[in-house]
Structure 1
Amino acid sequence: MQRWEDRFQKEEYAYGIEPNKFLAQQLNHFKPGKILFGAEGEGRNAVYAAKEGWNVSAFDISTEGKNKALKLAKSNQVHIDYRVGHLPDLKFKPNHFDVIALIYAHFPAEIRKKFHSIVSTHLKPGGRIIFEAFGEHHLKYLKENPNVSGPKDQASLFSKKEVQKDFKDFKVILLEEKPVALQESLYHNGTGSVLRFIAEKL
């Protein structure tokens, strides 16, 4: 946890203030509704969604991340419901959200499956997951270019098989891992192996 507090307490936004490109592209296909952002950090994606007319909720374990997110929301004259803590304690309503966005929401392998199971309960039937994170082939890209960032251990990366298993009660719309050129402020600079997943809750 302290790693993220240290990263987010700096004045500059670690991943910038512009939204993740994949997320922004996907939200263009939806009529705005209720959206939940997991591991949202400094709020760039949540604030973007709020500016686009979404009713936005978000959470993270970092108080510094929340502070930066609320500052960004205020400067953009939008509101986001941002909660700090572990998901089971945050009292989001079940079957409530139209979309759940997990953008580089990497968790230790031992809690990831449980987290995905819990977060899914907050999505309405027919709602969708939008997911982007580093895939299982990312380490070779990280070795070639440390500036692309991402987990340094294989267990914290995502495989298509694992994601499908974690979200087995979903209809898969997109599931792919491919090289993607990233340019997101201080981190995520360069080409990495990125897994993208979109699925609808049955």
Structure 2
Amino acid sequence: MSNFWDQKFSLTPNLYGEKPNQFLERDLKKLPPGKILLPGEGEGRNALYAAASQWEVTAIDQSPIAKKHTLKKAHDLGLDMDYHVTDIRDFHFAPETYDVVALIYFHLPENMQTEIHKKTVDALKKGGSIFIEGFGKDQLNYHSGGPKDLQMLYNLDDLKASFPGISWEEEFDGILDLDEGVGHKGAAHVIRLKGTKNSG
């Protein structure tokens, strides 16, 4: 799978644009900087924004090309971050370490979702925030990006249920017009969730 993404990022640099995800940007600026975990971060548009906003960034992706592109931009901007190239199943999610976890278009095969989603919750500090944005099931009817495998696309209720111990404060399930590089462009079925890890 890393070869798949290496090819994509090599052929089309800045595939998903250089600006941060609008949903994440909107709320991250309201929070005091801390530690943020960004799985499936690709070429770093969210990591670079967070680092420039004084967040301590841990990014994960399986593409060495994505890491290379990200760290080149970080170097040019004088920014630091911790970027891991690994299969998400091999990453050590240190318990209660991060103030924010952001899963931005982080789509997994169905057989991995329950395990990895729980690990991201475990890695979040009590009272920490989680942000999720991705494509819903109806995205197969649109041509604005995303997996072509129905099982990798989100259903709102199933998605919420796969993150135990989170109190959800905001949710969206509908059609948005995306403008995130050539990779996410046009009308799309998008699901958004914002929540806080319970302190109990």
Give the alignment's TM-score, normalised by structure 2: 0.94
Letter in 1 for 2:178: L
How many residues are treated as equivalent by the alignment?
A: 197
Report the Cα offset of residue 86 of structure 1.
Answer: 2.3
- Distance, in Å, in 2 between the alignment partners of 1:31 and 1:10 is 37
Question: Which residue does 1:151 correspond to in 2?
Answer: 147
- Distance, in Å, in 1 between the alignment partners of 2:94 and 2:31 is 21
Letter in 2 for 1:73: A
CA contact 2:93–2:119 (8 Å) conserved in 1? no
- Distance, in Å, in 1 between the alignment partners of 2:78 and 2:166 is 35
Question: Which residue does 2:6 correspond to in 1?
Answer: 5
Letter in 1 for 2:167: K
Structure 1 residues without counterparts, runs of 5 or longer:
none
SS at match of 1:155: helix
Question: Which residue does 2:129 correspond to in 1?
Answer: 128
Report the Cα offset of residue 153 of structure 1.
Answer: 2.1
Report the Cα offset of residue 22 of structure 1.
Answer: 1.0
SS at match of 2:43: coil
- Distance, in Å, in 2 between the alignment partners of 1:86 and 1:95 is 21
Distance 1:77 1:112, change over 3 A: same
Report the Cα offset of residue 92 of structure 1.
Answer: 4.2
Q: How does 1:24-173 map to 2 (within 5 A)?
A: 24-140=25-141, 142=142, 146=143, 148-173=144-169
- Distance, in Å, in 1 between the alignment partners of 2:171 and 2:164 is 13
With 44-53 and 13-22 compared, the bigger mean Cα shift is at 13-22
CA contact 1:171–1:200 (8 Å) conserved in 2? yes
The share of aligned pairs that are identical, in percent, is 36
- Distance, in Å, in 2 between the alignment partners of 1:21 and 1:196 is 11
Letter in 2 for 1:93: A
Letter in 1 for 2:129: R
CA contact 2:121–2:164 (8 Å) conserved in 1? no
Give the alignment's TM-score, normalised by structure 1: 0.93
SS at match of 1:121: helix
- Distance, in Å, in 1 between the alignment partners of 2:108 and 2:190 is 16
CA contact 1:88–1:118 (8 Å) conserved in 2? no
CA contact 2:34–2:99 (8 Å) conserved in 1? yes
- Distance, in Å, in 2 between the alignment partners of 1:99 and 1:123 is 7
Question: Which residue does 1:176 correspond to in 2?
Answer: 172
- Distance, in Å, in 2 between the alignment partners of 1:125 and 1:92 is 15
Letter in 2 for 1:193: H
SS at match of 1:24: helix
- Distance, in Å, in 1 between the alignment partners of 2:87 and 2:140 is 28
Report the Cα offset of residue 3 of structure 1.
Answer: 1.2
CA contact 2:107–2:152 (8 Å) conserved in 1? yes
- Distance, in Å, in 2 between the alignment partners of 1:122 and 1:112 is 15
Question: Which residue does 1:23 correspond to in 2?
Answer: 24
| Match 1:193 to one of 176, 189, 192 | 189
- Distance, in Å, in 1 between the alignment partners of 2:16 and 2:161 is 29
CA contact 1:87–1:119 (8 Å) conserved in 2? no
Report the Cα offset of residue 88 of structure 1.
Answer: 4.4
SS at match of 2:31: coil
